[in-house]
Structure 1
């Protein structure tokens, strides 16, 4: 992988992992089109990068805004799409506002799929192209307190697998990379304290960004980050009852912190 030859559309660029990805890619010389909701943050990020970058402040759930972003990608001859945009919610499902569920599915699933679909003609026309979807360990392990988020990331994982198989006879590579808990603004002090009490490791956005780029360089079609998270993913697929019992022991603690969220 020659990153200096890549022209990349990165969504969620104003978020924690997205920002770290932008910096890591820029250091490698990639040409970037940054997309996010916060124009001030995007401009500040573009000013910080060691190479020039374009940016667009867009709501990916808005059809017209999404189409304008695709047109900007066409003008820049983008050959890689990194879907890093997403939202999270910690709390018990029966207490989550219905509009929060709708907003999460709209961004994490619907808008991401529709943007990818709109980008496919451009990517398929290139000699070689890449789609990188940022998932989560919770896309493979249903975790108490994250029911809607787990549903959205499980959908993204299934989408990535299916799309990869649909495009097997093309030069478009599809990667799914699933970080574990990460120290970003999406995880507030309640979540950080919960993870500390349960002994759950948390990565920095910079660690995640470097791991994502390594996965693409190594042509890993699906990669789950962190240990023992990778082991739990395998156990959950083969003997889910083992994971059920392990999480049952954590349930009272999760419920206590969910009441503070």
Structure 2
């Protein structure tokens, strides 16, 4: 049985509504797995249960042999799970570089925060963090924008900045919630290449939600499909594209002459 990352029979209820029902998946180290489904299918709810933003009604989140169900967000991040968000969450009045530097908070000492607040500090640690943060910007093709305000970036650039911030927590598992949302075809193609590169460079396991079918089918090795909170299919991109239940629920009813 896989002890790296496993979700066991997750259920999330809000009052009388069951948003996710009996969701299970096992992901091996190094895999790139997609989670797709119509709007409201429960995909982001799954991510929220994994990362501590929601505590499941029942079921378990197992990470490297440990039950982390319901742990606080910061404890899950410290264990090596990072995420981006469907709705971008940046410090828009801070620079692009500062946004990434802030993500080092879980692994640095208080003197860095004194530096960020303009208080006396040891400059060497701040410089080290600045250099590491700049390196993540280089990986996401954002280094030339390091001194710009995050709020001034184009939408696709803000999406990439969120990924850079997540990488700065040095995760083993990276959850990407609709990373290509709002991007044009050229930006989406470039993002797919960047995701492949960071996965290889950092030895990441990636679990992503996405509505862009071309992006998902070309990037993921395995795909899970949710519909009304219920898993209806799992398989390779080729298997998912020809699955009748998926075609009906997500890709549209097959057309007959």
Normalization by structure 1: what TM-score?
Answer: 0.33
Answer 1 or 2: which has greater helix percent: 1
Answer 1 or 2: which has greater strand percent: 2
Q: State the structure with more CA Rg.
A: 2
